Chains A and B, each alone.
Chain A
Amino acid sequence: MRAWLLSLRSRLSSMFPDPVAPDVSPPPLATRLWQRAPGPLLAMPVLVLLLVGFLAPLILVVTYSFMPPHTFSLTQAPTLDNYRNVFSSTYYVSFGWSVLLAALTTVLLLLVSWPIAYGLTRSFSKPMVLTLLLVLPLFISENVRLFGWVLTLSNHGVLDGTARALFDVELPMPLYNIPIVLFGMAFIFLPFMLFPMALGISMIPESCREAAYDLGATRLQVLREVEIPLAMPGIAIGSLLTFVLALGSISEAKLLGGQSIIMIAHEIETAFTYAQNWPLGAALATLLILLTAAMVIALLARLDMERLLGRGR
């Protein structure tokens, strides 16, 4: 019994060490935290922002999706009515179109971007000016750029007007249909595919390509078996970014597509604003968030961020 008490005392005293000598005052809390754990301390402001500005709103949306239709409070008994409503009406059409167009945009941009991303990282002699020219559209409101296409393609627009004045022919107006929506999405999201892809291509070591050529590989084999696999992290990020952003896009379909197609994000917006049915909009948004989150988390879990950004340092 006595031995046990002694061991308890020693254990307690190790848990609560004697106070430091009173003449040496301990450093302030911030300094101690900084010395012991600079990482979490520095990450704190950003994490708080994401907690308050990202996670909390999303939780709120998911909670609203379980409230009875047309209510604005969160205190009702939870119900699945909104989801029943979503699945029993024609929202699958908008969902289907959004997924299809986002997928087509991604595939199209994979093909369009590869030669430019490749040239940008490997063969062009002055890549910086081209990079700036490709970045600039990112900084111009997408509505302005889409409106530019309306001005270009409409009847008596820039193309049609030029053709009439020079050759006296009328061009057909390619606006307000589904292909132009796809075109507009590819146009808007090009940089989101291009730059991650270029990052991926810059990770291919020159020696790997040379070795493959030395071993007698053809150009196509090098592309398929060396370059694409090694650039995969960049290609995957670009594809996912394009797909996710295209999935949630509205403006392309509204400005270029007329009424030919309604995207899912447009349905969500209508439910929230025009129809004043927050729970329904929240249910649609929750489904979109789940689809997005599943893909994003699956990819991010696999990425090696250090290697991607720090080049394996």
Chain B
Amino acid sequence: MSLQSINRAERRNRRLMKLWAGVILVFLYLPIIAVFIASFSNLRFFVFPFQEWSIRWYRAVLSSLEIQQYLQNSLLVAGAVTIISVILAVFGALAFARYPWRGRGVYQRVLLLPIFFPQAVLGLAILMWLSWLGITPGWKTAVFAHLVWIVPIVTLIISIRIYGFDPSLEEAAYDLGASRRQVFLDVTLPLLWPGIFSGALFAFLLSWGNFPLSVYTSGVDQTVPEWMYSRMVAGYTPQVPALGALTVIVAIFLLFGAYALSRWWQRRQARNGNDQ
């Protein structure tokens, strides 16, 4: 096969791959667009196309004290999960990727087990465990259940970052007389920042959207995904698409905002690097 024909084939393949990616994106976003469309309907039931567009259900959602409580619960759980999981994962990731030790191979594999596990079964198992311990489920137990699943994910994200940096930087700092604390705060932590940042983002968003763990472990403190599910199976509730659309907007805002922020940071770093 000549080089030219390979190049031509590669170009054609690239076009096909782009087309395919476009098709898949349409499939991924069609239902999300449908939720947005339904959220602007004026009616109590859903028929498309509807005559009148309105933001009536958004008003209903935002003024409902009940829904505000669910939003508050979701935020509380996601916030607590983010903070705790990042702290645990920084240590966990240093053990995962930075220091060689006996048993590290086993540790690296054990850590992955909760990710490779059906979440509904994990949620039920934790519920049984809580009731056996005599703990009443609430938002704190939901945080605990989320942590079991999210800490391994955040640990992996930060570990990938640690694999990317040069351990001799830390050693150089020690040689120059820095204390353990100084090395951690002034060398290790700044190098880990991008990993910590994306880990925190993942932790928040995964907790924010989680249903199978929350549904068994949050007790009386229902979260937004739980409430939406309970309404979905009980017929059509017009507040569900509106609230669903709001959660989508939060996710878009956080994800793309974080992306823009990291791009800005990278450019700033590059500029500072050029100045020196």
A288-B121 in contact given A116-B20, A148-B34 (Cβ < 8 Å): yes
- Report yes or no: A151 in contact with B91, Cβ–Cβ below 8 A: no
A139-B119 in contact given A60-B132, A116-B17, A152-B34 (Cβ < 8 Å): no
Question: Which 7 interchain pairs have the tightest Cβ spacing?
Answer: A248-B118, A148-B31, A39-B101, A161-B48, A43-B95, A310-B163, A46-B92
Find residues 1-49 in chain B having any chain A CB closer than 8 Å to their own CB.
Answer: 1, 6, 9-10, 13-14, 16-18, 20-21, 24-25, 27-35, 37-38, 46-49
- Report yes or no: B128 in contact with A57, Cβ–Cβ below 8 A: yes
Report Cα–Cα, A251/B233, bound state, in Å: 10
Report Cα–Cα, A151/B38, bound state, in Å: 8
- Report yes or no: A53 in contact with B101, Cβ–Cβ below 8 A: no
Report Cα–Cα, A10/B111, bound state, in Å: 44
Apart from A54-B148, A119-B20, A187-B31, 10 more pairs, CB < 8 Å: A46-B89, A56-B129, A57-B129, A124-B14, A128-B259, A134-B25, A135-B255, A138-B205, A216-B1, A278-B128
Counting CB contacts under 8 A, is B79 at the interface?
no
Most buried by A among B6, B92, B105: B92
- Report yes or no: B259 in contact with A132, Cβ–Cβ below 8 A: yes
Closest to A61 in B: B125
30 A-B pairs whose Cβ atoms sit less than 8 Å apart in the complex? A40-B101, A42-B99, A46-B89, A49-B148, A50-B152, A53-B145, A53-B147, A112-B24, A116-B20, A119-B21, A123-B10, A124-B17, A130-B25, A141-B211, A141-B228, A142-B211, A144-B228, A148-B30, A148-B32, A156-B47, A162-B48, A213-B6, A241-B116, A248-B117, A248-B119, A248-B120, A251-B211, A285-B124, A309-B159, A309-B160
* Chain A interface, number of residues (Cβ within 8 angstroms): 100
A309-B28 in contact given A42-B92, A57-B125 (Cβ < 8 Å): no
Question: Inside 8 A of B199's CB, which chain A residues have their CB?
Answer: none
A119-B34 in contact given A46-B111, A151-B241, A245-B118 (Cβ < 8 Å): no
- Report yes or no: A115 in contact with B31, Cβ–Cβ below 8 A: no
A313-B121 in contact given A38-B99, A135-B255 (Cβ < 8 Å): no
Report Cα–Cα, A282/B132, bound state, in Å: 14
Question: Inside 8 A of B58's CB, which chain A residues have their CB?
Answer: none
Q: From residue A128, how far is it (CB to closest CB) to chain B in Å? A: 8
A143-B229 in contact given A137-B28, A313-B163 (Cβ < 8 Å): yes
Question: Inside 8 A of A211's CB, which chain B residues have their CB?
Answer: none
Question: Inside 8 A of A39's CB, which chain B residues have their CB?
Answer: 95, 99-101, 103-104
**Which stretch, B63-71, B244-252, B268-276, touches the partner chain A?**
B244-252
Counting CB contacts under 8 A, is A136 at the interface?
yes
- Report yes or no: A139 in contact with B125, Cβ–Cβ below 8 A: no
Report Cα–Cα, A4/B205, bound state, in Å: 69
Q: From residue B51, how far is it (CB to closest CB) to chain A in Å? A: 11
Question: Inside 8 A of A136's CB, which chain B residues have their CB?
Answer: 251-252, 255
- Report yes or no: A46 in contact with B151, Cβ–Cβ below 8 A: yes
- Report yes or no: B211 in contact with A134, Cβ–Cβ below 8 A: no
Find residues 85-127 in chain B having any chain A CB closer than 8 Å to their own CB.
Answer: 88-89, 91-92, 94-97, 99-101, 103-105, 107-122, 124-127
Contact code string A250-281 (vs B, CB < 8 Å = 1, else 0): 11001100000000010011001000001001
Report Cα–Cα, A303/B116, bound state, in Å: 14
A139-B255 in contact given A124-B18, A147-B240 (Cβ < 8 Å): yes
Find residues 51-73 in chain A having any chain B CB closer than 8 Å to their own CB.
Answer: 53-54, 56-58, 60-61, 64
A147-B112 in contact given A42-B92, A137-B32 (Cβ < 8 Å): no
- Report yes or no: A309 in contact with B241, Cβ–Cβ below 8 A: no
A265-B120 in contact given A144-B248, A158-B37 (Cβ < 8 Å): yes
